């Protein structure tokens, strides 16, 4: 690498890292917690995940009617089913009017007794136990700014990706014999040398995985950019936009769920949503050994006649479908199960290490440059 090019790459890496330091530390630490989102949320809020009642479940229509009666200013958007037979159902609410703000947007209902066992506002800026994990998720993905925040976060993720790649280029050994030095920490080293070795060696070892998390995060947060780019290389299956029929929905929640499950045998329902305007149900199913905990298969059921319009399995679609479909599982580590989630939780701590060591290196270099300039001026 030419000396002039290396000089500018060092500056780019240094100052982009400093610019991104708060963002990457926040994203890393919140990502570590979110790797075990459901487990931590259940520990903080056991009432949301365990119920004492036993017996047959009430029909979904009964539960939906109860929820909309209790929350008349909201409409039911979807049900989520937590793993296990003794967990309440989670129902997400939407405001009936776009300008209205709901004090509660998520309720937990006992499917046996139809009793409300909990509620929360996932948009609340709060560290209270019932709000903590949703707050961390919105901070991590949206910077608490909804769609605008997702775009900003995606752009910062691309800058972080570029910073990582520049770091690789700078640390890459000129000769094969240099790899041992590049991947090692000098024994007994302290101060600047320890900071430098940690920054370089850990970056070289774990940097590839951080590149994956930065890239997948940007793809998910910038779908209007990523999907057309993928579609230019491979076809993407488009989900149906609406029912094939006119008229009001005739199929209830339970019938739609049964139709979806029949189309994907040996699957477990994770979520069911209804769009009254488009007269569609969307059911998310989790297969055995699925690539993500929240299920990767989406089934669209016509709410007028109950026919399955499409079942989208990213692993059975085009190369583009598979590429888009695995992003979430890669980003969260769920693609590799528990080991993957542990790995992501560990990786989330590394931006803090890089920030500490990077700032230490920058301060040392800055001090040295100041001394050199002072000597030069003195000589002049």
For the chain, which residues make up each domain, given as ranges? 3-36+142-232+344-372, 54-112, 238-316
Q: What is the CATH number of domain 238-316?
A: 3.10.450
Asked whether residue 28 carries a pLDDT value surpassing 90, the answer given is yes
pLDDT of residue 368: 66
pLDDT-derived band of residue 52, with 50, 70 and 90 as boundaries? confident
pLDDT of residue 139: 98
How far apart CA 262 and CA 230 sit, in angstroms, is 31
Mean pLDDT confidence for 76-97 = 88
Report CA dihedral (145, 146, 147, 153) to the nearest 10 degrees. Answer: 60
pLDDT of residue 97: 84
Residue for token digits 């060591």? 357
How far apart CA 179 and CA 76 sit, in angstroms, is 58
pLDDT of residue 187: 74
| Contact (Cβ atoms closer than 8 angstroms) between residue 142 and residue 123 | no
| Distances from the Cα of 325 to the Cα of 36, 314, 320, angstroms | 20, 5, 8
pLDDT of residue 63: 94
Mean pLDDT confidence for 124-131 = 96
Asked whether residue 373 carries a pLDDT value surpassing 70, the answer given is no
Contact residues for 168 (Cβ-Cβ < 8 A; gap 6+) = 203, 204, 207
Mean pLDDT of the chain: 91
pLDDT of residue 330: 97
Asked whether residue 375 carries a pLDDT value surpassing 90, the answer given is no
Mean pLDDT confidence for 131-154 = 97
Task: Please work out, in degrees rounded to the nearest 5, the angle formed at the alpha carbon of residue 35 by the alpha carbons of 323 and 344.
Answer: 70
Structural element, H or E, at residue 109: strand 106-109
| Contact (Cβ atoms closer than 8 angstroms) between residue 207 and residue 168 | yes
pLDDT-derived band of residue 245, with 50, 70 and 90 as boundaries? confident
* Sign of the Cα pseudo-torsion (247, 250, 254, 258, in order): negative
Report CA dihedral (328, 134, 161, 231) to the nearest 10 degrees. Answer: 40
pLDDT-derived band of residue 369, with 50, 70 and 90 as boundaries? low
pLDDT of residue 318: 95
pLDDT-derived band of residue 177, with 50, 70 and 90 as boundaries? confident
27-41, 183-197, 223-237, 289-303: the lowest-pLDDT one: 183-197
Asked whether residue 371 carries a pLDDT value surpassing 80, the answer given is no
pLDDT-derived band of residue 366, with 50, 70 and 90 as boundaries? confident
Region of 287 on the Ramachandran plot (φ > 0 left; ψ -120 to 50 alpha; else beta): beta
Of 350, 14, 25, the residue nearest 163 (C-alpha): 14
Mean pLDDT confidence for 86-111 = 91
59-73, 191-205, 355-369: the lowest-pLDDT one: 355-369
pLDDT of residue 105: 95
pLDDT of residue 53: 85
Mean pLDDT confidence for 314-319 = 94
pLDDT of residue 164: 97
């Amino acid at each position: 690498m030419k000396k002039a090019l290396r000089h500018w790459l060092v500056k780019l890496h240094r100052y982009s890292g400093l610019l991104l330091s708060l963002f990457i530390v926040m994203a890393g630490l919140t990502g570590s917690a979110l790797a075990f989102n459901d487990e931590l949320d259940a520990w903080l809020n056991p009432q949301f995940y365990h119920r004492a009642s036993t017996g047959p479940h009430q029909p979904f229509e009964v539960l939906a009617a109860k929820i909309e009666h209790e929350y008349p200013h909201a409409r039911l958007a979807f049900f989520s089913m937590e793993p296990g037979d003794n967990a309440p159902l989670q129902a997400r609410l939407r405001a009936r009017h776009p300008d209205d703000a709901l004090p509660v947007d998520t309720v937990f209902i006992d499917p046996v007794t139809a009793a409300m066992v909990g509620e929360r506002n996932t948009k609340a800026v709060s560290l209270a136990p019932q709000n903590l994990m949703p707050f961390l998720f919105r901070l991590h993905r949206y910077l608490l700014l909804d769609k605008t925040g997702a775009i900003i976060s995606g752009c910062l993720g691309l800058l972080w990706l570029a910073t990582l790649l520049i770091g690789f280029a700078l640390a890459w050994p000129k000769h094969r014999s240099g790899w041992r030095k590049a991947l090692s920490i000098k024994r007994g080293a302290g101060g600047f040398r320890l900071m430098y070795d940690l920054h370089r060696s850990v970056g070289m070892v774990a940097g590839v995985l951080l590149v994956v998390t930065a890239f997948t995060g940007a793809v998910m947060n910038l779908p209007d950019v990523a999907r057309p780019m993928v579609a230019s290389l491979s076809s993407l299956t488009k989900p149906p936009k609406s029912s094939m029929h006119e008229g009001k929905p005739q199929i209830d929640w339970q019938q739609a769920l049964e139709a979806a499950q029949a189309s994907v045998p040996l699957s477990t329902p994770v979520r069911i949503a209804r769009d009254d305007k488009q007269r569609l149900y969307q059911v998310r199913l989790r297969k055995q050994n699925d690539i993500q905990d929240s299920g990767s298969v989406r089934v669209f059921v016509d709410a007028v006649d109950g026919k399955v319009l499409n079942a989208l399995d990213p692993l059975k679609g085009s190369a583009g479908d598979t590429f888009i479909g695995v992003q979430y599982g890669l980003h969260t580590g769920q693609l590799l199960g528990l080991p993957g989630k542990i790995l992501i939780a560990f990786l989330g701590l590394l931006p803090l290490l890089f920030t500490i060591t990077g700032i230490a290196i920058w301060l040392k270099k800055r001090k040295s440059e100041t001394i050199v300039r002072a000597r030069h001026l003195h000589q002049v």
